[in-house]
Amino acid sequence: MTHPAVPPIAELLAPAPWRTVDFISDLHLQAAEPGTFEAWRRYMAQTPADAIFILGDLFEVWVGDDAAGEPGFLADCASVLQAAASRAPVFFMHGNRDFLVGEGFLQACRTTLLPDPTVLDFAGKRWLLTHGDALCLDDTEYMRFREQVRSREWQREFLARPLAQRQAIARQLREQSESRKRSGIDYADVDGPATLAWLEAADAHAMIHGHTHKPADHPLAGRLRTVLSDWDAVAAPPRLEALRLTADGARRIPLA
C-alpha cells in the first residue's frame, strides 16, 4: 500500500504548572442518550486534571454552530464546556462525526481547537494526539468520504443549506452508519506503518487516539499506541473512561 504523506504536525508545550492531563473521546453525545451526557457532565465538573483534551466525536453529529443557538441539548453541552473551561483549559479536536464544530461555538465555550495531529510536550515526553480516522487507510470508502467532507468547498456549500435540510442529511448518514454496523462489517483499524511514520515524524514516543472504539495499548517498534475508550452509559457493563496522564505515565480512569 502507498501511504499518504505525513500531515503537518502542530506542537503544544504544556505549561510548567500542569501535573495531570486527561484525555477522552468518542462520547457521541446526543439527546437520545441522557445517561452518557450526565456521566460526562459529572466528569467535567469533578476531574482534577489541569487540562482536558477531547480527541474527537464529542457529539454524535454536528450540522453547524447555528444548531446550538437555541435552548436545548446542544446549549446544555455548551454550558458544560463553559463551566469546565472556567476551571481548567479544555481542548477540542475534530472527529469524524463533529468535524463541522466551528471556531464560533468553541470560542463561546472558551474551548481551544486543537489541530489534528498535535504533539503534546508534557513531563519530558512527546505524546502524539489524533482522532485516528485519518490513519484507517484500509477503509477506502470512508477515506474518500473524509477527503470530500473535509474540503472547504464542500463545507461551505453544506453549511449554506437550511438547518432543517442539514439535519435531514445527517439523519440519513447516521441511518446508513447504523445499517453498516448491523451488517457485521468489521471496521478497519489504524494502519501500522502509517502510524509509525507519524510517530517518527513527530519524534514522539507514544500516540493517543480514539475513533476505533477498541481501547488497548499496542507496542509499535519501540513506541506505543494507546487507544481511548468510547462512552456508553447504558452498555453492559457501561463504557465510561478517561485516560489520565502524569509524570509517571498514563493510566485509565473508570468513571462508571
State the 10-residue block means of pLDDT for the chain, 256 residues long: 81 98 98 97 98 97 93 96 98 96 96 98 97 95 93 96 94 79 73 96 98 96 97 96 97 95
Residue 184's pLDDT is what? 61
Cis peptide leading into 117, omega within 30 of 0? Answer: yes
Q: Distance of alpha carbon 8 from its chain centroid, rounded? A: 18
Superfamily of domain 10-254: Metallo-dependent phosphatases (3.60.21.10)
CA distance to 5, 19, 207, per residue, from 244 (Å): 31, 10, 14
Specify whether the CB–CB gap between 55 and 209 falls below 8 A.
yes
Contacts of residue 203, defined as CB under 8 A and 6 or more positions apart, other chains included, come to 119, 126
> What is d(CA 198, CA 210) in angstroms, rounded to the nearest whole number?
16
> What per-residue confidence (pLDDT) applies to 73?
96
Instruction: Give the list of residues 6+ apart from residue 102 with CB closer than 8 angstroms, or none.
Output: 64, 65
Sheet holding 51-55, edge to edge: 112-113, 90-93, 51-55, 21-24, 241-246, 249-254
pLDDT at position 27: 98
Whole-angstrom Cα distance, residue 175 to residue 169?
10
* Residue-level pLDDT at 69: 87
pTM here is 0.95
